[in-house]
Amino acid sequence: MNTRDLNNSRRFDVHTWSKHPESNTFVDALWPEIRQRFNPPSKWGRKQRSPNKKQFKVLLLDLFLCWTEDPEKSLGVPMSPGDYKEGSIYNALSISPKTIEIINALHDAKLIEWHKGSEAARKTTRIWPTQKLVDCFKAATLSAEEVLRHHNKEVIVLNAKVVKQSDTAEDWATKSIEYQDADHPSIVKWRSDLQAYNELLENTYVDVGSLVDPWVLRKVKTRKGLKIQKIPIDQSHKFVRRIFYRGSWELGGRFHGGFWQQIGSDIRRDILINEHRTVEVDYKGMHVSIACALEDFDLTFDPYVVPLMLPEFTEAEQRDVVKGLVLMAINAQTLKKAYTAFRGEQDKGSKAKKLKDVQLQALLEEVTTQIPILEHYIGRDKGVELMRIDGEITSKVINHFTANRVPILSVHDSYVVLAGKDHELIETMNKATSEVLGRKINLEAKGVGLGSLQTMTNMDPLDQLTKARNLEALKKIESEVVRTNEYNQRVRAWMERNR
């Protein structure tokens, strides 16, 4: 009986690719066994845009990458011909329905096991390697970090919500929709900028120095409750796309991708870029600050601090509640939905999960008493509009550092940068918000970097001894950055492969 957790899976990526010679050796060893199982092509049929062997390589490499991420993870593969659109902008390698035959051939050759899905029930088929294929994976000298996303993978994505119906249910799903570059005057530049950024990231080593194993476990809420998800921390998970929402170029536009967006700030603080320490700087209450800037309201205080109204909570705990509630309310269509969504995000049995609508309403009323302009933003589905603005700010920040060949990592409302570049980052963030909003908004550094310390040292009338002590103190901080032996092995192996 198969006890595999089918929810531990991800979708087949039709842009998985490798230029490394070993990838071709790997494919060549298995291809003859697969090729002989194909139906002979009809001479009258439409010619495929992508050769069978190339499509086999994409599937095999993605299966290999999925297995390296987590040996217990399955790959979700569509088995309907309509899911493979060769002319789609989201299918740069022209992966065709021939992939379905390749999957069947892999199964016939006992190289994969599967759990067949049902298109009617919207359950995607899951596949995973047999021990026979696992032995091939282990024998290959190919590294997962040499398997990347093809450079032609579309980086500008337009999503829309579509209704899906079955015999028993109707719900909404997100689908990427086709578009033309002429649909918006900035698409070509957005793509060019982001391709340059991804090229920089591809040639940058990003890792968490304190990790023994190159992954992080996190709890994820699903309809069936909490599950543990393994987040790979490696060089094949750095690809970034810019995604617009609801079929509109005026909604969303945030930057998505990169393992750093899926880990907590407590782990991000140990990120090393090209072996150097980093600093994270973020906008304090970004969407609230953007709303205030748009409404010409001077926000000179912490928007999440209100008089203590929840006696069983500390002031710090109540602030966390208010922050989560306000952000939820800005994104919700109604306040009732905001309250329900807020409780849904809380841990089972927690004090916050037990809060009643009347308590949450009282907190929001106190916030809007202090910031009246927020009345126009909460419970009105304004989040996607504000995301369009923060996406534009982020694009300016990323473009500045990319032009100077300085790697920077975006986490929507915060950025991770080399410790020596933190002061430049703050200046760039201020300039970006001024250009987009006409004014600066509040920033918060989550660490002290060399750039800030040097700037403070140069500005303050300090004697030379004090200046020297400041710089020596920072060098000491740098030397105390945690680097496990396993991290050192990973970075040495990467440098050996890329020198």
Identify the domain boundary among 370, 405, 428: 370
Residue pair 203/235 in contact (Cβ under 8 Å)? The answer is no
Last residue of a domain, one of 341, 370, 399: 370
pLDDT at residue 436 tops 60: yes
pLDDT, residue 478, reads: 59
Tens of pLDDT, residue by residue over 121-159, are: 567 899 999 999 999 999 988 888 888 888 899 999 999
Residue 491's H or E segment, with its range, is: helix 485-498
Q: Please determine, for residue 114, whether its predicted confidence score (pLDDT) is greater than 60.
A: yes
278, β-bridge pairs = 418
Tokens representing residue 314 in the block: 């500390």
Give Dmax (Cα) for the chain. 85
The share of the chain scoring above pLDDT 90, in percent, equals: 67
Residue 360 structural domain: 304-370
Answer yes or no: is 232 within a domain. no
* Residue written as token pair 């109204």: 309
Whole-number pLDDT of residue 168: 45
More reliable by pLDDT, 36 or 314: 314
Q: Is the pLDDT of residue 423 over 60?
A: yes
Q: What is the pLDDT of residues 87-110, one digit of tens each?
A: 899 999 999 999 999 999 999 999
In a 13 Å sphere around the CA of 193, the CA atoms on its Cβ side amount to 18
pLDDT of residue 208: 97
> Considering the domain boundaries, does residue 256 fall inside one?
no
Helix (H, G, I), strand (E, B) or coil at 152: coil
Region class of 22: left (phi > 0), else alpha (psi between -120 and 50), else beta: alpha
Contact 23, 61 (CB under 8 A): yes
- pLDDT surpasses 60 at 42: no
Q: What is the pLDDT of residues 257-270, one digit of tens each?
A: 999 999 999 999 99
- Beta strands (DSSP E) in 181-274 are 206-208, 215-222, 225-232, 241-244, 252-256, 271-273
Where does the pLDDT of residue 163 fall: very low under 50, low under 70, confident under 90, or very high at 90 and above? low
Instruction: Give the orientation angle of helix 315-331 with respect to helix 357-370, to 10 degrees.
Output: 90
Mean per-residue pLDDT, 182-193: 98
Residue 147 in any domain: the answer is yes
Q: What is the distance between the alpha carbons of residues 132 and 346, in angstroms, rounded to a whole number?
A: 43
pLDDT at 446 over 80: no
Assess contact for 374 and 295: CB atoms under 8 A: no
Query: What mean pLDDT comes out for the span 484-490?
Result: 96
Rounded-to-integer distance, Cα 465 and Cα 16, Å: 55
pLDDT digits (tens, 9 = 90+) for 280-321: 999 888 999 999 999 999 998 899 999 999 999 999 999 999
| Number of separate domains in the chain | 2
Return the pLDDT at 171.
57
Q: What are phi and psi of 235, to 5 degrees?
A: -80, -5
**Residue 307 near residue 290 (C-beta atoms within 8 A):** no
How far is the C-alpha of 443 from the C-alpha of 80, rounded, in Å? Answer: 49
Residues 6+ apart with CB under 8 A from 184: 249
Of the three residues 370, 389, 411, the one that is the final residue of a domain is 370
467 part of a folded domain:
no
Share of the chain above pLDDT 70, in %: 86
Comparing CA positions, the residue from 347, 321, 73 lying closest to residue 221 is 347
Q: Is residue 117 part of a domain?
A: yes
- Please indicate whether residue 175 or residue 3 has the higher confidence score (pLDDT): 175
pLDDT at residue 448 is higher than 60? no
Question: Once rounded to an integer, what is the mean pLDDT over residues 216-240?
Answer: 84
* pLDDT score of 44: 46
Instruction: Give dist(CA 442, CA 21) in Å, integer.
Output: 49
**Tokens standing for residue 257:** 């991708």
Name the H helices within 177-314.
187-202, 265-268, 286-294
Mean pLDDT, all residues of the chain: 88
Structure tokens at 356: 């009643």
End-to-end CA, the chain: 47
**Any idea which residue has 């952000």 for tokens?**
327
pLDDT tens-digit profile of 346-377?
988 899 999 999 999 999 999 999 999 999 99
Whether residue 126 is contained in a domain is answered as yes
Query: Residue 243 falls within a domain, yes or no?
Result: no
Q: What count of residues does the chain have? A: 499
Look at residue 165 and tell me whether its pLDDT is greater than 60. no
The answer as to whether 200 is a domain residue is no
